[in-house]
Homo-oligomer: A and B are copies of this chain.
């Protein structure tokens, strides 16, 4: 792991790091905020998965999480959203290819080689964090994310309830099976057989009974702005509310009046999400 930058912030260290990823076959960059802590202390870890077009930098610069992480003693990790580099295939659209990994392991050409964001987030990066950040208590992990990253947070948490004690999301894509972003990305990365998409769809995972597999579903918190211009056609928060209701899963889904899809929305509720996770990771 190489250190790109480290800056003192809120008494802790905001770092940006890179490493050669075996999963994606590329150099991957991510950020980690380690709050002030006693020597030898072990701190809970909160993952934040970003949305379309983003890198680690968007939330690192605009997310306003450090004050709350310092207050509650939470390590905050922000990975990239896709592999990068000249050798990585891309699409000219903003919602497919680079910056749009959708947290899947692709099975279709030409994406199959590099677009392995599921395995990267589920296995490779946690192992690196555990090795390089001795303060990280990997037995206490929560996960959150925004939009495409909210989809990533929900599906990764639903598939790995033993690893995550808490999951939240800001304006998540709740059902890629049922929106244009999801249709395009999952057909491109996974092919036309929609049965293969279900493990990448939060609503389908709940409908298929993963929550009844013997391990408890993490606590669930969603914030969604009512003035989000993607709400109606892409995000469809109502589908998640319905799936949770049918499966009798307790979920807190808050419609936030007047908020849009931007980091002005995310930063407003970030401190509350950090506090909410910290309470569940104590």
Contact = CB atoms under 8 A, between A and B. Distances in A.
Number of copies: 2
A8 B259 contact: yes
A129 to B, nearest CB: 21
A216 interface: no
A263 B262 CA distance: 20
A61 B61 contact: yes
B264 A8 contact: yes
Contacts of A64: 64, 67, 267
Contacts of A260: 7-8
Contacts of A7: 260, 262, 264-265
Contacts of A268: 8-11, 66
A66 B267 contact: yes
| Chain A facing B: main interface SS | mixed
A162 interface: no
A180 to B, nearest CB: 24
A260 B11 CA distance: 12
Interface string A6-19: 01111100100000
A258 interface: yes
B9 A267 contact: yes
Contacts of A123: none
A245 interface: no
Nearest to A62: B61
Interface in A50-79: 61-62, 64, 66-67
A259 B36 CA distance: 14
A8 B271 contact: no
A206 B268 CA distance: 40
A124 to B, nearest CB: 27
Interface in A254-275: 258-260, 262-265, 267-268, 271
27 contacts: A7-B260, A7-B262, A7-B264, A7-B265, A8-B225, A8-B259, A8-B260, A8-B264, A8-B265, A8-B268, A9-B264, A9-B265, A9-B267, A9-B268, A11-B268, A14-B264, A61-B61, A61-B62, A61-B263, A62-B62, A64-B64, A64-B67, A64-B267, A66-B267, A66-B268, A67-B67, A67-B271
Interface of A: 7-11, 14, 61-62, 64, 66-67, 225, 227, 258-260, 262-265, 267-268, 271
- 7 nearest CB pairs, A to B: A9-B264, A7-B264, A8-B258, A10-B268, A8-B259, A64-B64, A61-B62
